[in-house]
Amino acid sequence: MFKIDFHVHSNLSYDCDTDLEEIANKCKENNLDAVVVADHNETILNVMEINGVTLIPAEEIFTRDGEIIGIFLSQKIEPFLSLSETVIRIKEQNGIVYVPHPVDFYRKGGIGLKKLNEIIEYVDIIEVMNYKTLTKLENFISRKIASKFNRRFGAGSDAHKVEDVGKCYIEFDTDNKQKVDSPYRLLELFNYPYFVKGTNRGLLKAINLKVRKMLNT
């Protein structure tokens, strides 16, 4: 099996303190082979190998219409463009367009169904499992949408803390431990049978985390 968490943040993001080595070590602990490091309006740019884990460069870009992830970018894309302009710029770099948490009832980053429909021709992967969503319904709807448009399924922990790395991932049914060092090689994995693994954290965990933060301030 080949396992990838498609959505993790590092200390390049303004709201995360986890460094790349910590991410790689947690992946190793959870038997993940690769991880997509998708920082807010930042990117590591180059593929990295740390402790036997492949760190795939990406950027979670703030657009005027919500967040979108570009994977394997050759240069950073500026934030707060329109969604359509942003995905065009991703494609101009031969990057992969990955839609994170398209349906999100409680956070502002989801692009929603209307905007997703407007850019669907550019979309390569739709995230159908995001650990940070509060209800299973959000991920259920995202999966239905991906199936409707015949798009690849993605799954990501959306980890901003090292302990959350690997909470959601895609498991590909292959023992071929090839290097995932290009858009072609990453998308090629979807030719194998694959499975969505993980769940959402749920409302109670989110409330508990919020209370703990309040008590620590």
Reported as a single tens digit per residue, the pLDDT across 86-108 is 999 999 999 999 999 999 888 78
CATH number for the segment(s) 2-216 = 3.20.20.140
Between CA 81 and CA 89, with CA 85 as vertex, the angle to 5 degrees is 105
Residue with tokens 């959350």: 164
For residue 62, which of 48, 76, 46 has the smallest C-alpha distance? 76
Distance from C-alpha of 151 to C-alpha of 129, rounded to nearest angstrom: 14
* Beta pairing partners, 39: 59
Distance from C-alpha of 124 to C-alpha of 70, rounded to nearest angstrom: 10
Whether 117 shows a pLDDT value over 80: the answer reads yes
Radius of gyration over every alpha carbon of the chain, rounded to an integer in angstroms: 16
**pTM to 2 decimals?**
0.91
Whether 209 shows a pLDDT value over 80: the answer reads no
Q: Tell me the per-residue pLDDT of 30-71, one tens digit each, with 9 for 90 and over.
A: 999 999 999 999 999 899 999 999 999 999 999 999 999 999
Sorted by where each begins, the domain ranges of the chain are: 2-216
Q: Residue 109: exposed, middle, or buried by beta-carbon count in 10 A (0-12, 13-18, 19+)?
A: middle
